[in-house]
Structure 1
Amino acid sequence: MFMTDHLFKWTGFTLGHGARLLAILLIAFVLIRVLRILTRRLIAPAGSESAARVARMREQQTRTLVGILYSGGTAIIVIVAILTALPEFGFNITPVAAAAGLVSLSIGFGAQHVVRDFINGFFTVLEDQYVVGDTVRIGDVVGRVEHLTLRRTVLRDPQGAVVTIPNGEITKVANLSRDWGQLFLDAIVATDQPLDEALNALEAVAGDFRADPSWSPMLLDGPRVLGVESLAPNGTTVRLQVRTAPTRQDDVARELRRRIQIELAARGIRLGGLQRMQLVATEREIRRVAGQ
């Protein structure tokens, strides 16, 4: 009789609660699979529209965002499934939900900075502000993005130092790797040198530089000689403008300076700079100093 009663109870549980538990698990599994399929389509969408989309979104940004969506969505589905299944075992989830709410509230007050880091990191990825490999300026730090998560951004500066910045502290970012870069290069010609000849020399340097197949892929516009920028006792400043591929400004500037120096020297044109001073003394003064 005892065994029969337990058998009936187990059979009733299996037919009632067990069926509902199975349905909950099945629905959760299906939702997770659907979420996985949808997020994968973000990485590899089909058709011509997808090609345009991939062109707009970088792979690193897309994969990071997909990982966030999939992990967050899976966590929500699992939590909802557990809370839905608990009443089938006789648990009252009202106190559990209330306790979870209090714990979440306490954590929220105690970890406001962490929450702010995660929110800022999420929008950094979502808005494609920068990705791994970009060169950025954050505050007074300039460096290459080595690592990017929801909580922090890791940069490596030109000296090789690794700088870790919590995303919540980032209020302004200058991305130096997007679209193009630009530089202005000044050449100071001595005031006693022929200015027109110097301008012709700079134009020749700019033309040869544009035609050089080793450097032309880095140039988007220019170099262009803008003309006289300023006048000073130590020389006349002539300015050149160059628009380059991202992060190639320094390389282009170094090569341009080298070519300008060589071309002006070949034409006998002296660059300006600090005035050289020649001290002239009388014979009496020389004897007085020598006597001392």
Structure 2
Amino acid sequence: MTFVDFEYFFYQLWGVVVDHIIPLIALLLMAILVPRLGRLAIKVIEDRLDEEEESTKARLALLGALIYVLQIVAYFILIVLALSNLGVPPLGAAVPATIASAAIGFGAQTIIGDFLAGFFIISERQFGVGDYVSFDGTATAIEGTVVALTLRATKVRTPSGEVVMIPNGSAGVVTNFSQDWSRAVVNFDVPVRSGENLDHIQKIIEDTSNSAVNDPSISEDVAGDIEILPATSLTAPTAAGQPWKVNFRILVVVNPAR
């Protein structure tokens, strides 16, 4: 009799393992794989895109948002399958889910605001992956290179190497230093020697500037013509024997963040 009871017990236990435990473990493993598959998909697509193209930044931002939404959908489907496996009908779980959703909604207004802000950031192409930006709406001014962008948050690596997560709803005023093109600005003082005039000095600056931008190490980043503004200020000597100095400002359009 005892042998029969054990046989029945193990039969029932095996049925529970096959019908519930193994499927739930499989669903758990799938849930663990979801973010890893998302990162793999982003990496594969990144390798196929040209980093030099301006449109690549917007595509990477849209890709990150799409992967984020697909992950949420995948988690929702896995949860529904797990509840169904445990015998909880979808309609039966609808009422408590609605109550929980309402409770979470009251406490998740900030998160919803982050999602909306992220949607507008991506749809308006305010900035994308690879842009160098600064955020003035945070507690302290943060600037750096955007390394990841989702609907909820932006990940920025600062010049000193730290990675900062910024909720999109808290970004505030954003300055993009590398969208489409940038402008290099050079200010310097030129000493005025005896017998020189501003026209002669400006001619020297023009020749020197043209020679500089034709240097092979930087010529590929120069995207426009040099613009030399007229003398912006005159600096008096601070000690006897020193010459007067004229301040000049040189502008040139260059590739983004260069």
Q: Is the 8 A contact 2:65 2:150 kept in 1?
A: no
Residue 215 of structure 1 is matched in structure 2 by 218
Residue 32 of structure 2 is matched in structure 1 by none
- Between the aligned partners of 2:254 and 2:170, the Cα distance in structure 1 is 31
**How many pairs were matched up?**
194
Q: Is the 8 A contact 2:187 2:249 kept in 1?
A: yes
Structure 2 residue aligned with 1:238, among 227, 248, 252? Answer: 248
Residue 60 (structure 1) aligned with residue 60 (structure 2): yes
Matches within 5 A, 1:1-292: 56=55, 58=57, 59-72=59-72, 93=91, 96-139=93-136, 140-193=141-194, 194=196, 195-234=198-237, 235-248=245-258
User: 1:249-269, CA deviations, whole angstroms, 9 ceiling, x for partnerless residues?
Assistant: xxxxxxxxxxxxxxxxxxxxx
Residue aligned with 2:127, SS: coil
- Between the aligned partners of 1:183 and 1:207, the Cα distance in structure 2 is 14
Residue aligned with 2:126, SS: coil
Deviation (angstroms), 1:144: 1.0
Deviation (angstroms), 1:233: 2.4
Residue aligned with 2:128, SS: coil
Q: Which structure carries more helix by proportion?
A: 1
- Between the aligned partners of 2:89 and 2:226, the Cα distance in structure 1 is 75
Residue aligned with 2:232, SS: strand
Deviation (angstroms), 1:63: 2.1
- Between the aligned partners of 2:88 and 2:252, the Cα distance in structure 1 is 74
Deviation (angstroms), 1:204: 0.9
Calculate the TM-score normalised by the size of structure 2. Answer: 0.61
Deviation (angstroms), 1:141: 1.4
Residue aligned with 2:100, SS: helix
Q: Report % sequence identity.
A: 31
Calculate the TM-score normalised by the size of structure 1. Answer: 0.55
- Between the aligned partners of 1:176 and 1:103, the Cα distance in structure 2 is 43
Choose 1 or 2 for highest CA Rg.
1
Amino acid at match of 1:171: G
| Structure 1: unaligned runs, 5 residues or longer | 1-39, 45-53, 249-292
Cα–Cα, structure 1 residues 99 and 233, in superposed 2: closer, same or farther, change >3 Å? same
Return the structure number with greater relative CO, CA threshold 8 A, min gap 6: 2
| Structure 2: unaligned runs, 5 residues or longer | 1-40, 46-52, 238-244
Residue aligned with 2:231, SS: strand
